A and B are shown apart, each in its own frame.
Chain A
Amino acid sequence: MTPRPSEITPQPLWDGRRGFLQQALVLLGGAGGAAARAQAIVEAPNTRDEVSRYNNYYEFSSNKEAVWKLAEEFQPQPWTVTIDGACEKPRTWALDDLLRRHAQEDRVYRLRCVEGWSAVVPWRGFPLAALLAASQPTSRARFVAFESVLRPAEMVGQRRPGLNWPYAEALRIDEAIHPLTLLVTGAYGQALPTANGAPLRLAVPWKYGFKSIKAIARIRLVEQPPATAWTQAAPAEYGFYANVNPEVAHPRWSQKRELRLGETAKRATLPFNGYGAEVAALYAGLDLRQNY
């Protein structure tokens, strides 16, 4: 009997299955934080005001300096997130249950926006892998699709056309279970500001910021590559992978440099935003110029 193509494990996953299992075990053993902390950030974090008052969140505005004000009225409580699709245990979680179940860690990550600015943010959260493991993905789960909340009454940007609402993002399953991929529930040791995607967002530090979806309401495990908001809006400008890459320019600007918030001069952008040692292996053999 020939297996369907979708049932064949991709070569890199098969080759790396021991590492995959070890990673998963380490994570479930609660030592994932240590692995992630090995990536020391030497730069000083930005201030809370810089991070929460200058950012993109099109559900509110495309003006980075207007978002924080418009997001003030957003109600992040109570909150639920549904996990379904190709898994044994689909479930709708109350956020409070998730917070009780998963120990929260503080992690300082770089954030690089595709527009050319960056920040260093002390996030608080837990590995996405832990949540996914609880849902017991099946062999058909090759991608993880995320969907933001749809609340045009509270999110004025959703009343305008532009992006397809609700905002959608996705990761390959191996990216999703990578120990660096964090489900964020707080920042600066406090609750997550509504402007930064409260109460639940993603932080995928080696990818451009638009991959780190905010206000997550639904997570689906799927077999086919899911459509994502920015790739649908401008496929020639924003790809599925969106790995930070100084060598591949955006069609309208260079990605070689970035402006760290609070600074007057630009600095060089690092491949994979400085997380190459941890994640470059995920893309071995992949043409990163084609798969931008």
Chain B
Amino acid sequence: MRRTRVLCFGLCLSPALWLAGEWALDALGPNPLNRLLHFSGRTALLLLLLTLAVSPLRKLSVALARAVHARFGKRLADWNWLIRLRRQLGLFTFAYAVLHVALYVALDIGPSWAAVLDDGADRPFVLLGWLGLALLLPLAATSTNAAMRLLGPWWRRLHLLAYGAAAFGVVHFGLQAKVGQNWPWLETAALVLLLAGRLRAWWHGDRAPAAEVQRPTAGPPVFGKR
């Protein structure tokens, strides 16, 4: 378990190290600012979509095990290790979003509040980016075990905001591109699939979306009870 988490940590950190390496070696290409902003932003969006994919993937693995009538290794098919990575993926999403915004404020508009407001008014997609970050903020703030205990059932509802953040992220990314070029179709498709999966689960009576949440209390986790 520990090893999976360390591996995930390393994988999540590698885009930042790669970008830092390119910067240090002066290898960011002809438009270095674009490279910095695109790379950090795309990584944040990818990690957010991966975070959202955790619980559907886990359900899929169970369904798959049932479909092939797996008698053995059912625990293996539950992919519990995946759920334990979700908090890490979510926090890395937030870290890359903050890095993206920090680079934007420092290098694109110059650090000034007036410039932030000005640029938001001039470029609508920038506003969408800010909204996405605003939705991620409470999620990062309530990522601790203590916050989960405190919020109880509200924690799951609050964390549905991640879908909103992903939607803002995809549209923010799509609108900054040149017309007719580089619309993030893959990201859009992934988000639509994830939303469809969530709606389907809701339709089938799963009103508590993050039902597989790792219980922060002591004792064995109670997965797969339903």
Q: Could you say which residues of chain B place their CB within 8 Å of the CB of A77?
A: none
A79 in the interface (beta carbon within 8 A): no
A190 at interface, CB cutoff 8 A: no
Q: Does A253 contact B31, Cβ atoms closer than 8 Å?
A: no
The residue of chain B having its C-beta at the shortest distance from the C-beta of A265 within the complex is: B107
A264 touches B110 (CB 8 A): no
Give Cα A254 to B121, complex, Å: 9
Which one of B32-40, B136-144, B203-211 is at the A interface?
A: B32-40
* Nearest-CB residue, chain B, relative to A263: B32
Taking CB atoms and an 8 Å cut-off, the chain B residues in 32-80 that contact chain A are 32-34, 36
Judged by a CB distance under 8 angstroms, whether A50 is at the interface is yes
**A173 to nearest B CB, angstroms?**
33
Tell whether, in the assembled complex, residue B31 and residue A259 are in contact, meaning their CB atoms are under 8 Å apart: yes
Q: Which residues of A contact B34 (CB under 8 A)?
A: 259
Residue of B whose beta carbon sits closest to that of A56:
B178
- Residues on A with C-beta less than 8 A from B110 are 257, 265-266
Report if A266-B109 is in contact (Cβ < 8 Å); known contacts: A62-B180, A249-B122, A254-B123.
yes
- Is the CB of A256 closer than 8 A to any CB of chain B? yes
Q: Is the CB of A257 within 8 A of B30?
A: no
Which of B107-130 touch A at CB < 8 Å? 107-110, 118-119, 122-124
Indicate if B171 sits at the interface (CB-CB under 8 A).
Answer: no
The bracket for how many chain A residues form the interface is 20 to 34
- Tell me, in angstroms, the Cα distance from A208 to B30 when the chains sit together: 19
Q: CA of A262 to CA of B29 in the docked complex: distance in angstroms?
A: 7
Interface centre among B33, B34, B107 (most CB of A within 10 A): B33
- Set B28, B29, B33, B123: member contacting A266, Cβ < 8 A: B33
Q: How far is the CA of A257 from the CA of B122 in the complex (A)?
A: 12
**A136 contact set on B, CB distance < 8 A:** none
Task: Determine whether the beta carbon of A259 is less than 8 Å from that of B33.
Answer: yes
A113 to B216, CA, bound (A): 54
Q: Is B181 an interface residue (CB 8 A)?
A: yes
Chain A residues within 8 Å of B181, by CB: 62-63
Inter-chain contact B118/A256, CB cutoff 8 Å: yes
Contact of A265 among B23, B29, B33 (CB under 8 A): B33
Please indicate the chain B residues that have their CB under 8 angstroms from the CB of A54 in the complex: 29-31
Q: Enumerate 29 A-B pairs (CB-CB under 8 Å) in ascending A order.
A: A50-B30, A53-B30, A54-B29, A54-B31, A62-B181, A65-B29, A65-B30, A117-B31, A249-B122, A252-B123, A252-B124, A253-B123, A254-B119, A254-B122, A256-B118, A257-B110, A259-B33, A261-B30, A261-B31, A263-B32, A263-B33, A264-B23, A264-B36, A265-B33, A265-B106, A265-B107, A266-B107, A266-B108, A266-B109
Closest 5 CB pairs of A and B: A54-B30, A254-B122, A265-B107, A264-B32, A50-B30
